[in-house]
């Protein structure tokens, strides 16, 4: 038991250190620009400074929001689960998106899961965000049943995820040197949150190669009524 406690404490310390670093980076950049404006006010473009400051504030807010989601997942969700038809759910969530490249749907009807609507919406949104960031032309979402599971698959035709990085991309604050691994300014928490939500629903989330040529993110959830 003591080893388990020490392991948890070590993870908490590492998480706190990583979170502090992620927040310190935009704050340091923002402070530097503001100090320059104070010292050399005649050389500052005020509109550009405000734009930069707001961009950094947005980044800080995003990081804090994601950290709060992870903290909630760590202690366990307290929302009441509802019965969700995944085909209808995916269709509705994709329909809310107004930007990005096309998303093609291949949905098997009548597949039901028991889950938290808001968390599953965030999970799907995070997967689609990643796919659309890296795809070349389109994203495909598939919902199908396999025995006592419902499978949701997000495919893209981008550069893919190297085999040696397919586990690491789900780590907290994970970034890789590949074009796909960079978070485009994010904290590297999107896939960690998605996998945390999957585990909270007694499911799994994994990455592998797609038949479209890019990456495939596969979510497996127990069917409603199954033993899970």
Q: Which fold has domain 2-75?
A: Helix Hairpins (1.10.287)
CB 201 within 8 A of CB 113: yes
Q: pTM for this one? A: 0.76
Average pLDDT of the chain to the nearest whole number:
84
For the chain, the domains span: 2-75, 82-222
> Which two three-digit tokens encode residue 150?
């419902």
How confident is the model over 26-38, as a mean pLDDT?
Answer: 89
Indicate if the pLDDT at residue 14 is higher than 70: no
Taking only the tens place, the pLDDT of each residue in 165-212 is 999 888 877 654 444 343 444 557 889 899 999 999 999 999 999 999
Cβ-count burial of 65 within 10 angstroms (0-12 exposed, 13-18 middle, 19+ buried)? exposed
**64 or 21, which is more confident?**
64
For 82-222, which CATH class?
alpha beta
Q: What does the pLDDT look like over 34-64, one tens digit per residue?
A: 998 889 888 888 899 898 889 888 888 888 8
């Amino acid at each position: 038991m003591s080893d388990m406690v020490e392991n948890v404490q070590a993870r908490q310390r590492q998480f706190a250190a990583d979170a502090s670093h992620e927040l310190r980076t935009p704050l340091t950049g923002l402070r530097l620009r503001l100090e320059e404006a104070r010292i050399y006010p005649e050389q500052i473009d005020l509109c550009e400074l405000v734009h930069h400051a707001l961009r950094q504030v947005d980044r800080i807010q995003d990081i804090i929001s994601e950290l709060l989601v992870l903290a909630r997942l760590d202690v366990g969700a307290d929302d009441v689960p509802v019965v969700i038809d995944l085909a209808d759910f995916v269709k509705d969530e994709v329909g809310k998106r107004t930007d990005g490249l096309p998303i093609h749907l291949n949905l098997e009807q009548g597949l039901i899961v028991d889950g938290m609507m808001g968390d599953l919406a965030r999970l799907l949104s995070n997967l689609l965000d990643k796919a659309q960031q890296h795809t070349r032309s389109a994203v495909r979402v598939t919902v199908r049943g396999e025995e006592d599971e419902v499978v949701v698959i997000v495919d893209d035709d981008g550069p893919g995820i190297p085999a040696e990085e397919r586990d690491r991309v789900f780590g907290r604050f994970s970034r890789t040197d590949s074009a796909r691994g960079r978070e485009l300014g994010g904290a590297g928490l999107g896939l960690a949150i998605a996998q945390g939500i999957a585990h909270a629903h007694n499911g799994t989330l994994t990455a592998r190669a797609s038949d479209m040529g890019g990456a495939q993110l596969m979510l497996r959830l127990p069917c409603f009524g199954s033993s899970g």
